[in-house]
Structure 1
């Protein structure tokens, strides 16, 4: 049996065994983990109760794929739209560049024009990077534009290696390493996108491959970055879950066994099982410095991790926004709706029209007394979106009073309470609407019209 060294871990001062070196397991038949992924059944989540330690990096950050993965599920953005959104991301990320990078396609003239125009801005953050397939032809595009870093597709599950690429594991590894070496030869930092990592053989392919990538990094004295791609959204964050579905197990394997530094490690999640946000947060907690996101989660199939969600996850984990300007999120949402024509679902957290709107009368009564009771945080401060109520047959006097105060921005001594005669008359009108059979919510436009008429009736000239 192999005798491994016993060393001191400088982070926790505990003795630990030297991590084993995993060798490539070149198999004749693909390992598709049919015990976990029986295609004619719902995928299974299994446990072995092996727990890995938290390993929260000193610095965490966000990267963006709006212009790459985000364009694969919608009509392509125009060059002007890409440049405008890039400027928004620069402002949102703040002076510390918490939104660290944006990745771009290079295949169309429109995309290349957008890259050139974004580079002309001269912003340090987000850094402009690209995405290519593992081919020399694609790499020529990167060299032509002169980018400092590019993502490279390196599919890592046997589903892709055997069924899509028609290769063996060794053939795939050799092919990938050759492309990465060529990238390093020209001084471009490679970012290896390990596609479908949550259905891959972690110990038999992924760790041996990443170990070789780290050896190349030392040989060239250049970073070789790793993006762990949960392409199908199979990742889970449950303690003790087995790999390849365990997010923390994957991150631990890459850092502890393959030797990937946290600052070179990134998580790219999809939302097929509603876990994109929590899996991205888990990746941060267990050692990945970066999480890859797209605006509003727009991306392949069910989408990517929403960038705006991770902005607020960052603030909750770090206790600070570190200079990020979250009010830009509202500006981006308005730009999508008005200029791009994308309709954001009304209840989408942080950006939907109704994300902080209540319809229940008892909630409205609480908001009227103290908005902290039913608002997640000061949404006026962080998103320029004060809490509001929607008026229906359940809103009551308190709901109507809150709507008036919010819509007309009546603060402090100008605010109306629920006993004000104007509030009572508006409620009479609302009650009559529903008594006559109405079933829909009262619109803001209708309420503005009614309030104007009641003000005139009561002789109220100003607030």
Structure 2
């Protein structure tokens, strides 16, 4: 038990990610994303739900025909129809899910805990008899009684499951509770654990990190955090943090993963907010004068990681919060060298402009601020 120097980051963009409202991926798109995920170093892809029907089976067929050196996983419920569909998909691995919280057992399944344990026994056994590798997914595990969780995990282990997924299905956890619960579970079972978080309270990524700290063996997440409701843990956030901050061997090519996010967003017909961590357009854009001054002295002052890792550079915006050095640096990039006095004059113009217009000035507008050809400025070669 304890913090691991290696971890499996499993992608579920093609399954749980596609469950984002209104998102439908074609079989061609699914196959393309699977290929690109494999190139990033992802070793496990939960590719969909075969019981959806023929369109999903066609997607599995396209993905499997690529011959990727990746574990392709199908998701299903513990029912005969779902198992039959999983077998038709021709995958070798299935994640069989079942609710484990009292509220879902009693109101969704309308059954008792004893029957849930019997289902785990029955359907793990059936899947194994079909020649499938079986992982058991504990739906709503974060609201389940922890002692019942142990019973369910041990039942899954006894009948041949190779892993148990602890799912924070409605995103109610916080990092401390995640750490405490999963650390406790690790003491009670030797079955490998996977964490799967949802972002309803904005904590899915943080909870995923806490799960790693508790010693889980894998984390299930989606690119860009896409998924139902508020989405899932963001795969790129988890991968970047573990790799760059914790020096964990994830086996993932960060630049390739970063480059894949806009493709996923396009397929999902979703816009990436400019402020979005890791993949947002503005994450290395600075306006505040104190930040720009610090960056110019040493970028590490205000950069959490080197932007070159994702093929970017830091940028400065001139606005209400800017300082003289920002102005001088920006105009030098435009081929204009300013005196300290002129820089201060232009800074005052810029601040007034942003107050009046409620936006930063464009390149053309910046040039207009010096169009009087004042003797305080001189032209330089860009």
Say yes or no: TM over 0.5. Answer: yes
Which of 145, 170, 175 pairs up with 1:237? 175
How do 1:94-133 residues align onto structure 2 when only pairs under 5 Å count? 97=42, 99-106=43-50, 107-125=52-70, 127-133=71-77
Deviation at 1:194, TM superposition (A): 0.4
Deviations 1:138-160 (A, max 9, x none): 11111112111111111101111
Q: Please give the per-residue CA displacement for 1:158-180, whole angstroms capped at 9, x wherever unaligned.
A: 11111111111111211232111
Query: Are the equivalent residues in 2 in contact too, given 1:277–1:310 (CA < 8 A)?
Result: yes
CA distance in 1: counterparts of 2:57 and 2:332, whole angstroms: 49
1:184 aligns with 2:128: yes
1:420 paired residue number: 337
Q: Secondary structure at the match of 1:352?
A: coil
Partner of residue 310, structure 2? 383
Change (3 A) 1:197 1:226: same
What residue in structure 1 maps to residue 163 of structure 2? 225
In the alignment, which residue of structure 2 is the partner of 1:50?
none
SS class of match (2:47): strand
Residues 1:258 and 2:193 are matched in the alignment: no
User: Match for 1:393 among 284, 304, 320?
Assistant: 320
Match of 2:358 in 1: 440
Label 1:392 to 1:101 Cα distance change in 2 as closer, same or farther (>3 A): same
C-alpha distance in 2 between matches for 1:83 and 1:453: 52
CA distance in 1, matches of 2:16, 2:258: 22
8 A Cα contact 2:94 2:133, kept in partner: yes
Deviation at 1:449, TM superposition (A): 6.9
**Matching of residues 353-364 of structure 1 within 5 Å:** 353-364=281-292
Kept in 2: contact 1:359–1:390 (CA 8 A): yes
Mapped contact 1:64–1:292 kept (Cα < 8 A): yes
Given candidates 155, 171, 177, the residue that maps to 2:99 is 155
Map residues 11-30 of structure 1 onto 2, 5 A cutoff.
none
Q: 2:37 aligns with which of 89, 97, 112?
A: 89
In the TM superposition, residue 435 of structure 1 has moved relative to its aligned partner by: 3.5
After TM superposition, the structure 1 stretch with the greater mean CA deviation from structure 2, 189-198 or 426-435, is: 426-435
Evaluate the alpha carbon distance shift between residue 378 and residue 403 of structure 1 in structure 2; reply closer, same or farther with a 3 A threshold.
Answer: farther
Partner residue in 1 for 2:14: 67
> CA RMSD of the aligned region, Å?
3.0
Shift of 1:272: 2.1
The answer to whether the 8 A contact 1:66-1:293 is kept is yes
Which stretch of structure 1 is more off in the superposition, 208-217 or 130-139? 208-217
CA deviation after TM superposition for structure 1 residue 235, in Å: 2.3
Hey, which of these two has a bigger chunk of helix by percent?
2
The aligned length equals: 376
Change (3 A) 1:58 1:420: closer
Q: Is the 8 A contact 1:67 1:105 kept in 2?
A: no
Q: 1:388–1:402: 8 Å Cα contact kept in structure 2?
A: no
What whole-Å deviation, never above 9, does each CA across 1:66-103 have from its counterpart, x for those lacking one?
1111122232223333233223322222xxx4x43333
* Contact 1:397/1:424, CA 8 A, preserved across alignment: no
Is 1:315 paired with 2:243? Answer: yes
Equivalent-residue separation in structure 2 for 1:117 and 1:423 (angstroms)? 63
Q: Quote the residue 1:15 is aligned against.
A: none
Length-normalised TM-score, structure 1:
0.73
Give the conservation status (yes or no) of the 8 Å contact 1:295–1:306.
Answer: yes
421 and 253 in structure 1: CA distance in 2 versus 1, 3 angstrom threshold = closer
Offset of 1:201 from its aligned partner? 1.4
Find the counterpart in structure 2 of residue 13 from structure 1.
none
Unaligned runs of 5+ in 1: 1-53, 218-222, 239-245, 409-415
1:365 counterpart = 2:283: no
Provide closer, same or farther for how the CA distance between residues 145 and 310 of structure 1 changes in structure 2, counting only shifts above 3 A. same
